[in-house]
Amino acid sequence: MSRAAETPGRAALVATAQDSIARGSKSFAAASRLFDPATRERAWLLYAWCRACDDIADGQILGHDMTKVADGPARIAAIRSATDAVLAGAWVGDPAFDGLRFVVAETGLPRGYIDDLIAGFALDAEDRRLRSTDDLLTYCYHVAGVVGCMMAIVMGVSPDDRDTLDRACDMGIAFQLANIARDIEEDDRAGRCYLPMEWLVAMDIPPGQHMKPPYRARLAVLAQRLADMATAYADSARAGVGRLSFRAAWAVLAAADIYGAIARKVAAAGEHGWDHRVHTGRSEKAGAIARAALAALRRREARPRPRSPELWTRPDGGLASDGGTSGGTGGE
């Protein structure tokens, strides 16, 4: 990535980020429109950086057509180099990276979260296989739970508000579990599998054979397990929206409903959950947005409940200085 000849304007970076989310994720694009203007722009800028990093790491375009890459470590090094440069005050000529500096400057986003997400991309680049439920949830934190934390800070949550950030992390984990359930076939085509080895062994599914017809019924059981886990983490996350503004809570609850529907559809389809890529239509998104508005209005009526100790907990509050991948505690 070369240094830009001219300093890009914030408005131009926001416009590019808006286009990125519109083409990369219709679900997040729909939910983001519910934010107030300032939060919406920052959310778009953060999304654009996350999307660009993911695309670089996976050799894809806007989250589609993932391919096997032979130079994974070099791709992660490029991500780190460009990110380090913009956080040090340079312009690298890539709108997705240049926009990140505005997010950090305007929200006080801690560097530790940025490093934790890049560590997640590195896990994919290393083609590390997940052995246990704890490995799965650690991975989900690094590629999505930490994004939930960053988004919460973009929404105005203090970086010191650990409990609210734990709930935001739960939402990110719920989204990723839904993604994993939906994308099992697509990931398999790219040579990846995010189902823990322990799960496959327990279902007597030979590693690398989970998409074969004889194992589809057993695979459906694991998809249901992912959907159930996603529901548990999303429910925990919903308990934290009472601390958000109405519009932030509205957006979060809408996204939770939309992504929850994806996981439920995959599970309900059983052996046919991967015949085509599951998605939510416009009417379903509209319904989710309407339900979320009512829930956001009532967000402070329910008595707050403690976060379940049975849920996995992010390491060091998400601020591990080395951006490491040490696991947390708890199971499903």
Residue at 231 is within a domain: yes
Question: Please, is 4 exposed, middle or buried when counting C-beta atoms within 10 Å of its C-beta (0-12, 13-18, 19+)?
Answer: middle
78 lies in a domain?
yes
* pLDDT confidence tier of residue 320, bands split at 50, 70 and 90: very low
Q: How many domains does the chain have?
A: 1
Count of CB atoms within 10 A of residue 217's CB? Answer: 11
Distance CA 281, CA 265 (A): 12
**What's the pLDDT tens digit per position in 90-111?**
999 999 999 999 999 999 999 9
Q: Domain containing 269: what range?
A: 10-318
Lowest average pLDDT, out of 14-18, 266-270, 274-278, 294-298, goes to 274-278
Residue 239 lies in a domain: yes
pTM of the predicted protein model: 0.88
Q: What percent of the chain has pLDDT over 70?
A: 89
Tens of pLDDT, residue by residue over 202-222, are: 999 998 899 999 999 999 999
Q: How far apart are CA 116 and CA 315, in angstroms?
A: 10
The predicted-structure confidence for 52-102, as pLDDT tens digits, reads as follows 998 898 776 654 555 666 687 899 999 999 999 999 999 999 999 999 999
The CATH number that applies at residue 281 is 1.10.600.10
Report yes or no on 331 lying in a domain. no
Q: Which contacts (CB < 8 Å, 24+ apart) does range 290-296 have?
A: 291/253, 291/254, 291/257, 292/34, 292/250, 292/251, 292/252, 292/253, 292/254, 292/256, 292/257, 293/250, 295/238, 295/241, 295/249, 295/253, 296/241, 296/246, 296/247, 296/249, 296/250, 296/253
The pLDDT value given to residue 331: 39
Q: How do residues 155-204 score in pLDDT, each as one tens digit?
A: 999 999 999 999 999 999 999 999 999 999 988 988 889 999 999 999 99
Given a contact cutoff of 8 angstroms between Cβ atoms, the answer to whether 96 and 20 are in contact is: yes
Looking at residue 132, what is its pLDDT? 97
- Residue 324 placed within a domain: no
